[in-house]
Amino acid sequence: MTTLAAATPSPLAAWIARNGPVLAIFAVIFALWEAAVRALNVPDYILPSPSVIVAKIVVSWQLLLVNAFVTFEEILLGFALSVLVAIPLAVAVVYSRIFERAAFPFMVSLQTIPKVALAPILVMWLGYGIMPKVMVAFLISFFPIVINAVIGMRSAEKEMIYLVQSMGASELTTFLKIRLPKALPSIFGGLKVGMGQAVVGATVGEFIAAERGLGYLQLISQVRLDTPLLFAAVVVLSLLGVLLFNAVAVIERIALPWSRLATDVAE
């Protein structure tokens, strides 16, 4: 087909062409869900239909927003703390033998501890405020970031290092011109995983002990058998996660225009 529209697709048409199949799958699932709940007369406290959930979101938007903001804050603080600790630590692992031999294996072995299990201890130490949630988010998002950063910084080929050394580059120049830019795709990979983990961490932290936040709202809804609100909180939490993940992805795309190019060609 060589219609004019196909030759110069509008951004909207291109977006629909790309995301259409996924949207269609979601539409079918929600339609089936809605139909099944209505046909079988399932009570709301067991499984609310999508339309009931949407109505609940519309009615309780203020409640959801206030609590979403709390969770959002915990996620961002935990994630930011992870980045601030993980990146310098990765540099230390790459450049220092002691860190490489001692700290890195130690961190990798720590990774096997289920961080969620530490949440009650953190609550005991840090109280009911925002801090224990930030710490759980930090602990759980920290490892993918540091490990990916280390892998990335080690990924520069030997010849690449030799090349700049033959030009008389200092260690700092080698880091800034080679190791760091070479590591960025891997670092962003770690950031994306870490961001998803931070969402999990903050929510779990709220499950343990909280007075605010989406996780807390879920607990309260569960106790009150307010299943539509429980689902509404899940929807908002998912949207929050998707939003934060895509924020990292957008920054990556802007910062590394060459990266997508390299993988596109490789594929």
Partner 1 sequence: MTRAGVPIAISGVTKRYNTARGGEVHALAEIDLAIAPGEFLSIVGPSGCGKSTLLMLIAGLIPASSGNIAVGGSRVKGAVGNVAVVFQRDVLLDWRTVLANVLLPVEIKKLDPATHRRKARELLRSVGLADFEDKYPAELSGGMRQRVAICRALVQDPGLLLMDEPFGALDALTREQMNLDLQRMWLRDRNTVLFITHSIEEAVLLSDRVVVMSSRPGRIADVVANDLPRPRGAHTRSEPRFVEHVERIRRHFLALGVLSET
Q: Does position 267 bind partner 1 by CB under 8 A?
A: no
Name the one range near partner 1 by CB under 8 A: 84-92, 105-113, 170-178, 221-229.
Answer: 170-178
* Integer Cα distance of 146 and 107 in angstroms: 9
Q: Does position 151 bind partner 1 by CB under 8 A?
A: no
Given 42, 116, 151, 164, the residue binding partner 1 (CB under 8 A) = 164
Is the Cβ of residue 37 or residue 87 nearer to partner 1 in the bound state?
87
Determine the longest span between alpha carbons in the chain, in angstroms.
Answer: 76
What is the size of the binding site for partner 1 (CB under 8 A)? 25
Is the Cβ of residue 42 or residue 177 nearer to partner 1 in the bound state?
177
**Letter for the amino acid at 30?**
F
Length of the chain: 267
* Integer Cα distance of 101 and 94 in angstroms: 10
User: Residue 175: which residues within 8 A CB-CB, separation 6 or more?
Assistant: 91
Is the Cβ of residue 111 or residue 165 nearer to partner 1 in the bound state?
165
Q: Does position 166 bind partner 1 by CB under 8 A?
A: yes
Shortest distance (Å) from residue 152 CB to partner 1: 12
Q: Does position 167 bind partner 1 by CB under 8 A?
A: yes
CB 201 within 8 A of CB 241: no
* Integer Cα distance of 114 and 22 in angstroms: 33
* Integer Cα distance of 256 and 87 in angstroms: 18
In the 8-state DSSP scheme, what is residue 213? S
In the 8-state DSSP scheme, what is residue 134? H
Q: Does position 162 bind partner 1 by CB under 8 A?
A: yes
In the 8-state DSSP scheme, what is residue 93? H
Q: Does position 171 bind partner 1 by CB under 8 A?
A: no
Is the Cβ of residue 131 or residue 160 nearer to partner 1 in the bound state?
160
Given 41, 159, 172, 223, the residue binding partner 1 (CB under 8 A) = 159
Name the one range near partner 1 by CB under 8 A: 71-79, 96-104, 239-247, 255-263.
Answer: 255-263
Q: Does position 254 bind partner 1 by CB under 8 A?
A: no
Chain positions 69 to 88 lying near partner 1, rule: CB under 8 A, are none
In the 8-state DSSP scheme, what is residue 167? T
CA distances from 217 to 24, 157, 209, 213, 256 (A): 31, 50, 12, 6, 38
Binding footprint of partner 1 on the chain (CB under 8 A): 157, 159-160, 162-169, 173, 177-178, 181-182, 184, 256, 258-259, 261-262, 264-266
